[in-house]
Structures are given as structure tokens and as C-alpha cells.
Amino acid sequence: MEAGMVGQGNVKLKRLFEPGKIGKLTLKNRLIKCAAESAMQWDHEKQVIKPGKRGLFFYDAIAAGGVGMVIMESGAAMKRRGGGYFLVPIDTDDNIPYFAEYAQSVHKHGIPCIQQFYDFSPLLPAPHTESSSAVYMPGARQDMNSELPHPLTKDEVTAKIRSFIDGSIRSQKAGFDGMEINAGCSHLWATFLSRFWNKRTDEYGPQSLENRARVVVEMIQGIKKACSQDFVVSVLLNGVETNTFELGNDAECMTVEESAALAKLFEQAGADFIHVRSGMFGSHLAGFFPDLNFITNRSDSGYGIPLDFKRYIPDFISKYDGAGAFIDIACKIKKGLKIPVGTVGDMDLRLIPDVIGDAVAEGKIDFVLMNRPLMADPELPAKIAAGKMDEVRPCTKCITCFNDNVCRVNAAMTRAGGETMPEGYHVLPSAKKKRVLVIGGGPAGMEAARVAAMRGHQVTLYEKSSKLGGLMLSAAVVKGPHERILDFAGYLSTQLFQLGVEVKLGQAAGKATVQNNKPDVVMVAVGGAYSKPEIPGIDNRIVVDNESMHSKLELGIRFVNPLTLRDLTKFYLPLGHRVVVIGGEIHGIEMAEFLVERGRRVTLVDELPVTELGKGIPPHIITRHITYVRAHGVRIMMGVKYGEITSTGLTVTTDYGFKETIEADNIALAVPLVPNHALFDSLQGIVPELYAVGDCNEPGLIVSAVAGSNLAARKI
């Protein structure tokens, strides 16, 4: 992948594809896959690693896709307090061969590979929680340090440092080119660097910068001595810290200047690379997913309070909704160093190519670290280098990967090499070309058509509406610009065109269509059926059912900039001021957000218990959504019993036994779909191969629709 291969439309990205050096390592470009969970498998009972094919396929795909270096996760050398392991360990020589297979899966592509070590103990529930001091943040449900921790004794600190050094020795024996010390966010080592957490009185305390840095410095020096100077040591640290749980309580948070001084001490100790993220106390994920601060389409602390970046984090780049947020922070740290500096944080080349390209070209940073964009499309580096930006499968920032270890848009991520996808990432050609008819142009239908065409089949797709996308269109309106739903719809649409799929819009296909076309295979992807709760008066004129709401929302797409959806905060929505939303799962919460952003007074009700509130929203961000709607006046009533709908509103009996009429101008249904097997059942025996995919088979989210249709199409 030479610099000259970068397409003419991406001239500013040229510097990204020039070689760079980290210690003795030469990287063919400036793009690094940073550490995160993957498909590594571990037998918790036997406490041994199993080099499963899914993990090996995952790293093979990443390395083959053209990235400059891989930082592999895990490699912990630690036992948690109270016994047992939490992370994949490299604490004995017996495990070296297992890790070696992962290193080899990267090295065979000529890509350097280092391994991140970190102690995740602040995330563990008591009594396993450990920290530099007995300091915690009760009530901060989105952070790691929300329970009273055990403050490490000096002997325990020494033992942990030793275990990191010993683990690095084993990592080198396994074939890794270096290691990274994770001292960022709210992880254990970050609690030593930060005055916010560190209240010790010994030589590891906050009395001086040197004291705070001591744990990391001793690790760097010990690793370099044990593994040689050529073994790369990277340090991941917070470039800046802020307290998002208690905005304004930042007196003891680390400043950019302090971070730069710490980085200098690490360089002097022998570190080869500095990896910059941030510490946003109260919201762990926002420390490396800065775009989460805009998840409700406005800057938000995560606790329903607007986050004024100019006031609290002036060096945070906020104008791109968090993309490239830490570039200026990393630049300030780099100015005092001779070793290279890189940063993570929604460094998605699709979103801000010129900003990232300029940052490297101007020397603000040396390397670009990313994870989610590569999980969405491991071939991102190669495609961008070849000038094929429009062929990059877009990350939609849904955080499904972080919570469920699967990707919404890339069905192969962590499935390739497993039982359901033994052939691996690449779609293999079929031994026999078939005529495939796909009915439905939503995510399931488009993914099915895409994969079937890649298999070499002749594919025709019927969609009854005038455009592709299905429910993704209305979902894009409700979710807003953060999740980039339209980007994914556009990618699938482009893929169908490039693969030669015949798309017939505005044509509903039924039994007669199939009989006339005589296809070899039919894939039914017509979506789920709309449902209505059994409430007296459900057909009252003030009720807006799911189908009507979808039509109204889809209409908004025609009048806005499809790239940003920004104008949708003002687009016409024929609903009154007072709205009752029926449905407390993901659909209801997101509808409530959408409505309060447009000035509606919202009450959300559901017969489900409060434990089901927000079901379907990834666990790590559900608190953000629920807190946001509550902070913006949404009244949430779970566990009610529906009474009757009249022209004035909805009568319910609350979970504490009181009967109440909720006055409303409109009642919006936001309830899950139900299976829709009618067409599929009618085609039984008419076609040789028949599949039902997506919501019509089993209603769910985009991630399940894409995965199910991808797997089905791979069988044809």
C-alpha cells in the first residue's frame, strides 16, 4: 500500500499512508488498530486460553485489511482480588503458545503486533475493586469507580508491577513486538496518575508529579531491562480529565499540561510511544468514545446536563460531534516529546478525512488509532488507500460491538471462523449460479441481496416503496445524525448497484410474482407486522400507530440534508403538544427523545416492569438515554395497567393501584413488531429454496436483521 495509491479525491490522506516508526518498529502507514475486545476465547474454569478460530480469523482480517500495526487486547498478568481471573491471562509459561498463535496471525501479513496490558479492577464489583486509594464516585452508574475500592498496599503495588514485567517477558516469547501499559480512563494505573483518585501518602502518592508517575515509570524501566530496549513500550494515558458526573468539580483533575509532563517522564524512562485518550469521570466509555457526548444529538454530560466543552474541556474538538476530539490535546502533549504520539476517539476517516489527514501532515499527531471503523470494515485502510471511500462499510456508532462483541453492519465480525460462518470473513463463490429473488428492501433484504450477488448469483430485489431502506429511514429520523443510519443504507444501496443487483422499486412482490419469475431461491424480507396493544379505544383518532408514524417520519427525509439530518429538529410533525408514548423499550425511549427535542410534553407508559425500561439499548449507554429523557421532563410510568383511550387521553392504573387519566393530544405507539409469516407461508412448496430473514422472521434490531440475512445468503 504505497502513498501513491491514495485516490485523487483523498489527496490530504496521502501522509497517512507513508511509513512511520515507533521505537525499532517500522509501520507501513500511520493507521493503528488499538486494543479492544475481540473474539479471543478463554476457558474460565480451566483458566487457559483457547486460540479459537474466530479470534484468529478476526486478527487475520484486520491485518490483511492494510492497517499499519495492531495493538491486541488482554494479556493481563493479574489475578483479581479475592482470587480467580477477570482478563485473559499470560501469567504462566503454559499460556505462551496460545498467545503466539494470535501474534502469528498478524505477523504473517508483515504487520507489527504489540499487546496491551491493563488492570480492569476498578470495574469489578466489591470486594474485587482495587484502586490507588479508597476514593470512589457513588452514583456514577456509567463509570468504573462507583464502589468503594480496596487501596493497594505498597507490597501489592510492587507485586502488580512485577506481574506486568513478567507478563511482558512472556508476551515477547510469544512473538509480540512490544506491549502497551493502559494507564488511561479510570483503570487502575490511571488512579495513580490522577490527583482526583490518588490520596496516598507513600512514594506513589500525589505529592509530586514524579510520585504519581512512579508506578508506570517502574514498569517501563523493568520491561525494558527484562525484554531489551528493542521491545516497544507504549503508554496509554489521559490527555485531560474532567468530572462529567459533577460538572465543575475539576480542581483535582489532570490538565493537558500535567499530562504532557507525565508523558515526558515516561519518555525519559524509555517509553517509545504515547497513546492519548481522556478521562471523563462519570462516563467511562466517553473517555475513548467521545462521540457518546453527542448521542442525544446535543452535547450532553451523560446525566442530562448540557456539557459546555469550551468551559470544561477547551481543547476538546466538539464541532464534529466528537470525531477527532482529542487531536488538539494530543498535539499539546507531542510538542514536548521526541517519541511519536497518537490518539484515538472516533478517528473515522469517512467522517473527517481532511481533519485527520491534516493533523498528521501538519505534525499535530504521528499516528491515528481506531477500533470501531475497523470492526465495521477491516479493509478500510486498503479501500481508502485505493481511493474507494464509498466502498467502506460505515461504522454507525451503535456501541453494539462493545457490549455484545458483534457488529451491527459487519455480520462477519467475531462470527467468521465460528460454527455459523466456518468459511471466514470472505464470501465464497457458489458452485452453482442461481436466480435469486429478494422481496423487501430494508436492511435484511439489501444485505441478503448483497451477499447473494457476491456469491455469483443473479439477484433481483423487489421493494414496494419508492426507495430502499425500509424502517432504517424512519429510524434515521428518530435517532438523528449520531448513529449514521443513512450512511449504512447508502452503503448497501451502492453495493447493490456495483454488484449488478436488479432493483425494482415501487413494486410489491407476492405469490404471483414468484410464480411468474420462477426463481431458484426466494428470500422473504418484508419486515415485521405492526401491532397494537389491546386497549379499548385503540382506534381512536388521536392514536398514531406504528405504520402511520413510520410514514410521517419517512416523509421528513425528503426535506432535509440526508448527510446530517440536522434540519430534522424543525421538520413538520403533525402531533399535538401533549403526547403519550406507549412502549417503554428502545423504540419508546428513542421516540420520547425525538419528541422532547421538538418541544412536546411526553409521558411514556408500558405494562412491562421497570426492569424492561429501555430494553434493546446497549447496556453501557442505556443510562444516558433514560437520564436524558427524565432530565427533559418525560414522565415514565412502567408497570401500569391500560384502561381506555378516549379523545382526551389514556386511562391507566398505576403500579401502586391508583387510576389516572393522562391527558393527551396524541398517543403514539412505539411497540415492537411481531413476526409476519404470511408471504413466506404462502410460498411453501412453490420455490426450491425459501428463506425468511429479518423482522418478518424474528423482529429485532438492525444488527440481528443484517446477521441473519448474511448467514442465510451464504448458504445459497
Q: Do 285 and 373 fall into the same domain?
A: yes
Q: How far apart are CA 706 and CA 410, in angstroms?
A: 8
Q: Are residues 289 and 334 in the same domain?
A: yes
Within 8 A by CB and 6+ apart from 629, the residues are 589, 592, 593, 596, 602, 604, 636
Does residue 423 belong to any structural domain of this protein?
no
Residues 6+ apart with CB under 8 A from 99: 49, 75, 90, 115, 170, 171, 174, 175, 176
CB-CB contact of 307 with 317 (8 Å): no
Q: Which residues, in sequence order, are CB contacts of 77 under 8 Å at separation 6+?
A: 89, 90, 91, 117, 163, 164, 166, 167, 170
CATH number at residue 34: 3.20.20.70
Q: Give me the chain's average pLDDT, please.
A: 91
**Listed range (66-80, 103-117, 378-392, 404-418) with the worst mean pLDDT:** 66-80
279 and 168 fall within a common domain: yes
Are 561 and 648 found together in one domain? yes
Residue bearing the bigger pLDDT, 71 or 571 = 71
Among 543, 637, 307, 130, residue whose Cα is nearest residue 278: 307
Taking residues 146-152, what's their average pLDDT? 92
Domain presence at residue 425: no
Beta pairing class for 25-27 and 20-22: antiparallel
- Does residue 127 have a cis bond before it (omega within 30 degrees)? yes
Does 572 have pLDDT greater than 60?
no
Whether residue 429 is contained in a domain is answered as no
100: closest CA among 55, 154, 36, 138? Answer: 55
Residue closest to 454 by CA, chosen among 436, 494, 427: 427
How far is it, in rounded angstroms, from Cα 384 to Cα 394?
Answer: 12
Average pLDDT value for residue range 191-218: 98
Confidence of residue 184 (pLDDT cuts 50, 70, 90): very high
Is residue 11 scored above 70 in pLDDT? no
| 294 residue type, one letter | F
Contact 447, 709 (CB under 8 A): yes
Percentage above 90 pLDDT, the chain:
80
Q: Would 324 be classed as within a structural domain?
A: yes
| Domain tally, the chain | 3
* DSSP characters over 382-429: HHHHTT-GGGSPPP----HHHHHSS-SS-TTTTTBTSSSBTT-SSPPP
Residues 220 and 346 in one domain: yes
Lowest mean pLDDT segment, chosen from 233-242, 573-582, 693-702: 573-582
209: left (phi over 0), alpha (psi -120 to 50) or beta: alpha
| pLDDT, average across residues 362-378 | 97
Reduce the secondary structure of 136-157 to three states and give it as a string.
Answer: CCCCCCECCCCCCCEECCHHHH
The average pLDDT across 401-422 equals 92
Rama region for 657: left / alpha / beta (φ>0; ψ in -120 to 50; rest)? left
Q: What is the per-residue pLDDT for 499?
A: 98
Yes or no: say if 184 and 287 are a contact pair by the CB < 8 Å rule: yes
pLDDT digits (tens, 9 = 90+) for 12-38: 688 999 999 999 999 999 999 999 866
Q: Is residue 502 part of a domain?
A: yes
Last residue in a domain, options 637, 652, 669:
669
The pLDDT value recorded for residue 98 is 86
Cα–Cα dist 609/613, whole Å: 7
**Residue 393 CB-half CA count within 13 A:** 20
> Do 496 and 550 belong to one domain?
no
Statement: residue 123 has pLDDT above 80 = no
Cβ neighbours for 713, distance < 8 A, ≥ 6 positions apart: 447, 448, 449, 450, 451, 452, 455, 523
Q: Are residues 375 and 445 in the same domain?
A: no
Question: Between the CA of residue 681 and those of 40, 338, 527, 676, what are the distances in Å?
Answer: 40, 68, 14, 10
The whole-number average pLDDT for the span 43-48 is 58
Please state the rounded mean pLDDT for residues 465-493: 91
Give the per-residue pLDDT at 570: 52
Task: In whole angstroms, give the CA distance from residue 406 to residue 152.
Answer: 35
How large is the C-alpha radius of gyration of the chain? Answer: 26
Give pLDDT, residue 83: 67
Q: Return d(Cα 537, Cα 530) in angstroms, integer.
A: 17
Do 188 and 228 sit in the same domain of this protein? Answer: yes
Return the SS3 of 377: coil
CATH number at residue 657: 3.50.50.60
Domain for residue 420, yes or no? no
Q: How far, rounded to the nearest angstrom, does the alpha carbon of residue 589 sit from its chain's CA centroid? A: 19
pLDDT for the residue numbered 684: 96
Has residue 8 got a pLDDT over 60? no
Instruction: Check: CB of residue 550 under 8 Å from CB of residue 477.
Output: no
**Burial of 688 (C-beta count, 10 Å sphere; 0-12/13-18/19+):** exposed
Is 560 in the same domain as 630?
yes
Q: In the listed set 377, 395, 413, which residue is the last one of a domain according to the structure?
A: 395
C-alpha cell recorded at residue 697:
422472521
On the question of pLDDT at 9 being above 50, the answer is no
- Residue 40: what pLDDT? 65
Per-residue model confidence (pLDDT) at position 125: 72
Tell me, what's the pLDDT at 564?
47
Q: Is residue 171 part of a domain?
A: yes
Give 4-18 as a DSSP string: GGS-GGGGGGGGGGS
pTM to 2 decimals? 0.94
What's the mean pLDDT in 494-508?
A: 97
CATH number of the domain within which 455 lies? 3.40.50.720
Helix (H) / strand (E) element for 332: namely: helix 327-334
Which of 159, 216, 224, 155 shows the shortest CA–CA distance to 182? 216
Q: What average pLDDT does the segment 300-316 reach?
A: 94
Instruction: Supply the range of the domain harboring residue 294.
Output: 3-76+87-134+143-395
In our burial notation (b when 16+ CB lie closer than 10 A, e otherwise), range 585-613 reads bbbbbbbbbbbbbeebbbbbbbbbeeeeb
What would the grid cell of residue 543 be?
392514536
User: In sequence order, what are the residues at sequence separation of 6 or more whose Cβ sits closer than 8 angstroms to the Cβ of residue 31?
Assistant: 16, 66, 67, 68, 367, 368, 370, 381
Query: What are phi and psi for residue 617, nearest 5 degrees?
Result: -80, 135
The residues, ordered by sequence, that sit 6+ positions from 295 with a Cβ below 8 Å of its Cβ are 482, 621, 624, 625
Based on the domain organization, do 525 and 587 belong to the same domain?
Answer: no
Residue 578 has phi, psi (to 5 degrees) of -100, 120
Give the mean model confidence (pLDDT) for residues 620-643.
96
Q: What percent of the chain has pLDDT over 70?
A: 92
Residue 297 has pLDDT above 60, yes or no: yes
Instruction: Specify the range with the lowest mean pLDDT, choosing from 113-122, 192-201, 526-535.
Output: 113-122
More confident residue, 557 or 446: 446
Instruction: Say if residue 579 is in the same domain as residue 685.
Output: no
CA 230 to chain centroid, in Å, comes to 34
Asked if residue 562 has pLDDT above 50, the reply is no
pLDDT of residue 601: 97
Contacts 24+ apart (CB under 8 A), 11-19: 12/353, 12/354, 12/357, 12/358, 12/361, 13/349, 13/353, 13/356, 13/357, 13/384, 14/357, 14/361, 15/357, 15/360, 15/361, 16/349, 16/356, 16/357, 16/360, 16/368, 17/381, 17/385
**pLDDT score, position 94:** 85
Average pLDDT over residues 681-709: 97
For residues 586 and 593, give the distance between their C-alpha atoms in angstroms, rounded to a whole number.
11
Per-residue pLDDT averaged across 161-166, rounded?
Answer: 95
Paired with 642 in beta bridges are 652
CA dist 20 to 228, 273, 276, Å?
21, 12, 17
Report the DSSP beta bridge partners of residue 522: 437, 690
Q: How large is the average pLDDT for residues 565-591?
A: 81
Q: Are residues 168 and 255 in the same domain?
A: yes
Q: Are 306 and 268 in contact (CB under 8 A)?
A: no
More reliable by pLDDT, 492 or 574: 492
- Decide if 573 contacts 600 (C-beta within 8 A): no
Cβ(278)–Cβ(240) under 8 Å? Answer: yes
Kindly state whether residue 692 falls inside one of the protein's structural domains. Answer: yes
